[in-house]
Structure 1
């Protein structure tokens, strides 16, 4: 779900069911969710309408679950996170949800993975783990803040075990550490499902090994199976998912739905950071928080972004249309998670799904692949 975390970190993600009218006369076949982003108040005051000739948003089944979700969803993870604002997004969304029919909204959130730096989100924990106590506290607090009695999709934000994350690309064997067994994590989640507090479960920032272990443990011990994987995927970040997770998550194999976060690479693919002196760049979080996500600035990502923007212009597309259209059309993508700090950003992102030719023309796809051959995952530092 940009990221979907609510109980563990201050964020969450929403999708609308097909028959829900968010605004009078505006049905979700023409839009996805409209809600708060980046820790700000929900943006629910302006309708987003489709024009004649535009395609309707598609709805797709999420893995083995009964959920049918829109191909674009709103993530409200205010990154980078801060202790002072932890949980606030949940409260905003909970306030908004009070005036909406709960069964018409698909609400996803997360439980934090292993962390030695985020203990402030628990009452009495020095190190956060994905164990029964942490999972339950996370869910109970999130339900209270969200003013709801159940979560549609609960995901583990990142693994309890060591994996290469947060700028790392390759696995470092020396960093291996003991972790909570996969079956133990699933049993804790099973309890919440049995209590009606969680409907379905998923993972995030996960590897092929982790997905297979979760699926195997669920099958052997008759525990709930994960329905989704929320990983980063974009024109600038492809290899980690395409190399083997595509096969693992294939409907004929494990059938795990990809919820692609950062399809615009934290705004990089919009082109706003190419001119570091522009107002858009100055307002962007990669500028506001020096050192944050350096992989998009201190790498070959800039060169690749320039080429993708040139390709978009050549074919009459905006950079956002190209980037979101690419992720939208991948056969393994169930939904893309967008973030927004303004209504204009939200409109541009949603419009990209309904105005961009479906699928992207072959000549555009060929152009993307030509650039990819030269810049495979250029954000690797």
Structure 2
């Protein structure tokens, strides 16, 4: 499987990354181990997780994902064969089970989060450690307009980066990245790194799929290109909506049916559903499943270093990985852009 370099680091990852946020909620420990085994058998070397996983976040399950990965690492002895990424949660008072209701991105938070993840993962280092979402006011997770009135006190990027630097120097993490960030945030991280001699971010893990292409129009693509920050695309199938399984059967079992609609309403917007119908029809007219087309498109984008896929069973995982070998004809790419012009970023 083709590999891409992350930023200017020595990390070279497969362009398919195994996402794990279902481990501990929709997948048992045995399921998780089977997925990890299969991913490695297929050549994947990149695994992504987070301290808050699984999702939806709950006190009863928080940390289970990392624990399942940790038990697999201990049993398999394959730590040296993978590039392991995890994330520290930004502030969210409703998630008081993550380092307390006042958790944030300060020095003490970073130290505790890293140590807790290392313990759960049963490893002594994390290859890529990411800030899951910013401390400052920023529209994310379905919000798409910056609102100055929502400004709040936050931990300065310099402080977070300095704390991450201490973890790098201690050998607990190798490289750093961000997630759910903006073009301004990327540039600020780079500026602080250059002016203060702190670690330079290698990656940005942001939403990117056929219904959410704002990465291309928010100047993030230019900022990341010029600053050598690699995109890790998450939610490439829009929580399963782009597989068209909910179009084919509204009662299909999946994240959008088993969890409350308030959990991720953006993928239930009427425009997302209409766009999905057109993408599905296009895929099927060209002998592809909707999931294959959506993933093959994402895998082929020049600025996507790795696409984070998630699955709840091995059949889904196989289809998702197999799509990496598909090359979409130019006429299909043109028709995708035509649909996008009619339904521009409804899932953003």
Q: TM-score, normalised by structure 1?
A: 0.80
* Matched residue, 1:272: 245
Contact (CA 8 Å) 1:43, 1:343: kept in 2 or not? no
Q: CA deviation at 1:32?
A: 6.3
Distance (Å, rounded) in 1 between the aligned partners of 2:19 and 2:140? 30
Q: Which residue of 2 aligns with 1:256?
A: 229
Is 1:106 paired with 2:83? yes
Tell me the residue number matched to 1:286. Answer: 256
1:162, CA displacement in angstroms?
A: 0.9
- Report matched runs for 1:173-322 at 5 Å: 173-250=148-225, 253-278=226-251, 281=252, 283-291=253-261, 292-322=263-293
Q: Pick from 46, 49, 66 the counterpart of residue 90 of structure 1.
A: 66
Give 2:5's aligned residue.
Answer: none
What residue ranges of structure 1 are gaps of 5+ in the alignment? 1-15, 19-27, 51-55, 60-68
Preserved contact between residue 160 and residue 179 of structure 1 (Cα < 8 Å)? yes
Report the equivalent of 1:38. Answer: 23
Q: 1:258 touches 1:332 (CA, 8 Å); kept in 2?
A: yes
Between Structure 1 and Structure 2, the one with more helix by share is 2
> Could you tell me whether the CA contact under 8 Å between 2:54 and 2:64 is conserved in 1?
no
In structure 2, the partner of 1:348 is: 319
Counterpart CA distance in 2 for 1:321 and 1:265 is 13
Q: Give 1:166's match in structure 2, choosing from 134, 137, 141.
A: 141
Q: Would you say the 8 A contact 2:70–2:121 is kept in 1?
A: yes
For 1:277 and 1:183, the matched residues in 2 are separated by: 47
- Root-mean-square deviation (CA, aligned residues, Å) is 2.5
Q: Counterpart of 2:233 in 1: which secondary structure?
A: strand
State the alpha-carbon separation in 1 of the partners of residues 270 and 155 from structure 2.
Answer: 35
Whole-Å separation in 2 of the counterparts to 1:179 and 1:49:
39
Question: Structure 1 runs of 4+ off > 3 angstroms?
Answer: 31-38, 45-50, 73-77, 275-278
TM-score (norm 2): 0.88
Cα distance change on mapping 1:238 and 1:17 into 2, 3 Å:
closer
SS in 2 for 1:258: strand
Contact kept in structure 1, 2:190 and 2:200, CA below 8 Å: yes
Of residues 370, 375, 379, the one that matches 2:338 is 370
**CA deviation after TM superposition for structure 1 residue 188, in Å:** 0.3
Which stretches in structure 2 are left out of the alignment for 5+ residues? Answer: 1-10
1:12 equivalent in structure 2? none
Shift of 1:241: 4.4
1:81: which partner in 2?
57
Match runs of 1:115-130 below 5 Å: 115-122=92-99, 125-130=100-105
Relative to structure 1, the CA distance from residue 36 to residue 171 in structure 2 (aligned partners, 3 Å threshold; closer, same or farther) is closer
- 1:142 corresponds to which residue? 117
1:100 CA drift (Å) = 2.1
For residues 277 and 331 of structure 1, the distance between their equivalents in structure 2, rounded to whole angstroms, comes to 34
Q: For residue 133 of structure 2, give the secondary structure of its aligned residue in structure 1.
A: coil
Q: How far off is 1:181 after superposition?
A: 1.4
**Superposed displacement of residue 338, structure 1:** 0.6
Counterpart Cα distance in 1 of 2:312 and 2:291: 15
**Counterpart secondary structure, 1:367:** helix
After TM superposition, give the deviation of residue 298 of structure 1 in Å.
2.6
1:24-60 superposed Cα distances (whole Å, 9 cap, x missing partner): xxxx99x86597843232242775799xxxxx97x9x
Closer, same or farther in 2 for the Cα pair 1:43/1:352, shift >3 Å?
farther
For residues 36 and 181 of structure 1, the distance between their equivalents in structure 2, rounded to whole angstroms, comes to 28
Q: Distance in 2 between matches of 1:188 and 1:74?
A: 21
In structure 2, what is the Cα distance between the partners aligned to 1:128 and 1:276? 41
